[in-house]
Structures are given as C-alpha cells and as structure tokens.
Structure 1
C-alpha cells in the first residue's frame, strides 16, 4: 500500500509539473511573441547547448509533427523545417535566420542517429577470414604497426606482438565485430607516430633496469603495459557505449557543424586511445588485472567531462594535435 501511494503521488507530481511547464511556455510565448524554438535559437550560440535544447523541445512537444522531426531521414530535413515553420505560424520574412538555425540543429540531430546506425552495423558485422576486404584490413594493420617484420603466416604467434591474444586475431573481434578493426586501423594509419609509441610503451617491462637479455626472454603477455590491440578493441567498446547512450552528443554537436560522420567517431576513438594510455600510466597499475578498474574510472572521468555542454574532446582532425578544450 505504501508503494502504491508513493507511485500515485509521483504520478500526480509529474502531471502537475507537466501542466505547469506547458502553462509557463504559453505565457512566455504571449509575453515575448516567440515560441520556444525561437527563444532557444535566439538565446544560444551554435553548438551542443543549442542543439540539445532544440532536440529536447522537439522530443517532448505535444505535437506529433515536432516529435517525429528528430527521426526524419537526412534528405527530409528541409521539408521538416518547412512543416515546423508552418505549424508554428512563424513569418519567414520576419525571421530569416530562424529556419537556418533550426535546420543546422536538426541536421546534427538526425546525423547523430544516422551515425549510430552506421556504427551499429559495423559492430554487428563479424570478422570473416574468408572475406578479402576483412583480411586486407587486418594485414594493413600489421604492416602499419610492424613495417619491418613480415608475417611468417596468417596464423602465427606474431600477432601477439601487436597485442592480440592468440595466433588468430579474428577471435578477438567477436565483441565489437568489424568496428574494432576499423577503429584500430584508423588510429594506426591516421596517427601512426602516436600508435607506434603506444605500442612500444605497452611492451616495456615494469623495471627499467632489466637487462636486454632478460627482457628478450620474456613473453609479450608479461609486459608491464597491456595488450595494445585488445585494449584498442576495449576502447572501441567504451566509445560505442558513449555514442549509444547519447553522452557523445555534447562532443559531436560541438565539433561537427553539420552531420556527425564515422570520421568524427573514429577521431574521437583516437583521442580516447591516447587519453587512456596516459591515464593508465598515471594510475601505475601493478599488473593487467587492474584493467577493468582503471577502465571504469577512465569512463567515469570522460562522462563527467561530457556533462559540460561546452566541451569538445578533440576539435582537431589529427589525433596527435587533440586536447581537451572549452569552446
């Protein structure tokens, strides 16, 4: 009975707040002569703060037309804007900039949904060793990271040298599918110097005084750092969770003035790889068994940063140039 009463009270509080909110919106429109969409566009600069407010306004509108605007096809954005202007009875001649601002926001909103679909498709596609394109990407990854060491075969322990767990990397892509390989290859090719440095660091013994002879007797899985490729796939999982939860909207709405693309996502992945490496070194773990704890701590730190609507994680194209900034 107690739980029922609590739920009933919460329901009536919700209805009260909803009615109050709509009343305030109506009064504000009469006083200012502007609808909520107009007020948002006129009072906020381009970027995440404005786009997030527009997205919220559309999603929670009582109008089905406005609600559906956030999920239109990218090719239908212009028509959606025209429909919104007509519904709201906004004079285009008196508000020439409004449709442009609304369109910019809606392009970002539907672009994010489109990007999520593209990323999800790659994640669900399993690595296929019978697919020449998949095999070609994997070999490119090896050649980029180990240019002076030809593979002795397709199935070989050499894969452990770049941080895979076994003789055949295909088994390591199960969790993130082809997305994990796409991201690793993007990072290795577009920021080769940083990737090679991280790979080198990940293979270093914990004690710098260890002799070269002693080090050469060690196996790669006993290195102080971590398995580079495995961590790379794990960071893909982290980036995917940020994207699917909507947390990356803050960042992408700030760095992509138009539609966020796969390039923006992979650029963000490159940033996360380097930041995690720095974070890992700072945490000074005893061994790889601390990976999950440190990863979770890193994840929380990134989420906290993304709570700031002015935050852009990596505003530059090259991962080697990126750093945290407040726009």
Structure 2
C-alpha cells in the first residue's frame, strides 16, 4: 500500500520539483542527463522511454509513439521544445537511437502478432512447404510416407495432421520451429532425440509451440524490452524474436532434464517454473539472452 502511495506522490509532486532542482544544479534537462550519462543499451533507452511517457509536454509524450520514418523529425521537435541546440550531435544521435529502439519494439510486436494471427492453411503451398521442410530438417534419413501420417508423432506432434496443433499460435509456431531447425540443426536434432527419453521424454513440437506462446507473451507485455534494447542498437527485427525463441528451446530442454519431473503430466507446473526463471532474468537491465552464450562451457 505504502509503495503505491509513494509512487503516486512521487509522480504527482516530487518528480517535478526534483527535475527542476537538478536542472538548476546541472544546467541540463532530464533528457540531456539521461542521454549524456549512460551507455547505449536498455538502461538508457528504458529511462528515456519512462521520461517521455511521464512528461506533461505533449511533444515529448508523443515521441514514444512515432514510427521509424518520423524519428528524425521527432528528434528535431524534441530538441526545439527543450531548447537544446541542434549542433549538440551527441544528444541528437543518442535520442535517435533510443527512439528507433522504442518504435522498433512496437513494430516488432505488431509483426509477430500479425504472423500469429495467420492460421495454418493446408491449401497454402507456402505453409505446406515449411511443414515438409521441418520434417526434412529434423528427420533427414527418414522419408515422410504421406502428408497425413502417424509419423508426425515422431517429431512431437499430437496426431496425424500437425495443422491442428498450430491453432493457438498460428503460423508463428511453425515459423519458429523451422527457424530453430534450420539455423541450429544439430542442436534441434539433439533436443528431438533427448525428447524421446523413456522416462523424461516430452513432445518436441508441442513444447516448441508452447515456447512460442511464452516468447510471444513476453514480447507483448514488454518484458523483452531490456533484452532487445541491449541486443539491437536500432530497430529490433523478426530475426531477433526468432533468436530469443531459440534460446528458450535450448534452455528449456536443459531445465527439464535438470529438474527430472516425475512425468509429462507435470508439464504445466515445470513450464511455469521455467517461465518465472526467464522473467527473473529479464528484469536485469544488462540482460542479453543468446543461444551462443548459453552454449559456452
């Protein structure tokens, strides 16, 4: 309760006077202090984002909603509004980077959401080609005898036709599975093999789609901001979302075998435990979760 009261009082009253006092002492506005005193990355961009969102100035508040094409003009408008000389190239460059990251995160979410909304269509040639590619990447020495086949269970789908398993995450689930299998083929095959363990086994493809949902939800609620702001000095792309998904797949497999669940019936319990672990890691402003790093001895 007291935390909420303090938060309200700070945002309503103390923050204004604190900013005024610091400007009087330093001769610089809050944005100048943030952009001049911190290294590039999440700590700086998150602080800039919070400062802009909390501002009573409409030009500054609107800055967090600009699209990529409007960033350069927005930087000039902010500098004019705050009476910062245009020749201050350091401020201009750093604000430009932060606004690109902020607008890029929003655009990435929209792109991921749009892909998630696309239902798997067995009449769509591109969808079918990606599905067959997934099989060929994971099972290079075994031919798929028919499009509708119990063989799909060998890579962790629930039934004869994988399309029914993509309902929740749409095409995004398939694209993630293919991406991991294509870019980390050895790791994907090793994890598929481990998923067939007689005691600790799990459904590889179904779990993969479940992890797509985890990555999507973390992106949607803003939890991936620190990670992406540290990873990408500009516009985050779909590629970066896929890379984070790959990290989740690799780490979840390690986590599952380290935890040694009694059976797959306890999947939801351990999935949530893993989810909490990842959310904890993402709270660190210096976080950067990459598959390359996690594979290092």
* TM-score when normalising by structure 1: 0.87
Aligned match for 1:199, one of 174, 192, 213: 192
In structure 2, do the counterparts of structure 1 residues 37 and 138 end up closer, same or farther at CA, with 3 Å as the change threshold? Answer: same
Matched, 1:282 2:252: no
Match of 1:295 in 2: 271
Is 2:116–2:172's contact at 8 Å kept on the other side of the alignment?
yes
Q: In structure 2, how many angstroms separate the alpha carbons of the residues matched to 1:238 and 1:245?
A: 11
Aligned match for 1:46, one of 29, 36, 40: 40
Matched, 1:323 2:294: yes
Matched, 1:139 2:110: no
In structure 2, do the counterparts of structure 1 residues 11 and 204 end up closer, same or farther at CA, with 3 Å as the change threshold? Answer: closer
Correspondence 1:1-327 to 2 at 5 A: 14=8, 17-93=11-87, 95-206=88-199, 224-314=200-290, 319=291, 321-323=292-294
User: How far apart are 1:74 and its partner, in Å?
Assistant: 0.7
Is 1:313–1:324's contact at 8 Å kept on the other side of the alignment?
no
Is 2:41–2:229's contact at 8 Å kept on the other side of the alignment?
yes
Is 1:122–1:177's contact at 8 Å kept on the other side of the alignment?
yes
Q: In structure 2, how many angstroms separate the alpha carbons of the residues matched to 1:188 and 1:98?
A: 42
Residue segments in structure 2 that go unaligned for 5+ positions in a row: none
User: How far apart are 1:13 and its partner, in Å?
Assistant: 7.8
Is 1:163–1:229's contact at 8 Å kept on the other side of the alignment?
yes
Is 1:123–1:178's contact at 8 Å kept on the other side of the alignment?
yes
The number of equivalent residue pairs is 295
Q: In structure 1, how many angstroms separate the alpha carbons of the residues matched to 2:100 and 2:18?
A: 28
* TM-score when normalising by structure 2: 0.96
Q: In structure 1, how many angstroms separate the alpha carbons of the residues matched to 2:284 and 2:140?
A: 41
Cα RMSD for the two superposed structures: 1.8
User: How far apart are 1:147 and its partner, in Å?
Assistant: 1.1
Q: Which runs of 4+ in 1 moved over 4 A?
A: 10-13
Q: In structure 2, how many angstroms separate the alpha carbons of the residues matched to 1:126 and 1:233?
A: 14
10-19 or 69-78: bigger deviation: 10-19
User: How far apart are 1:322 and its partner, in Å?
Assistant: 2.9
User: How far apart are 1:238 and its partner, in Å?
Assistant: 0.6
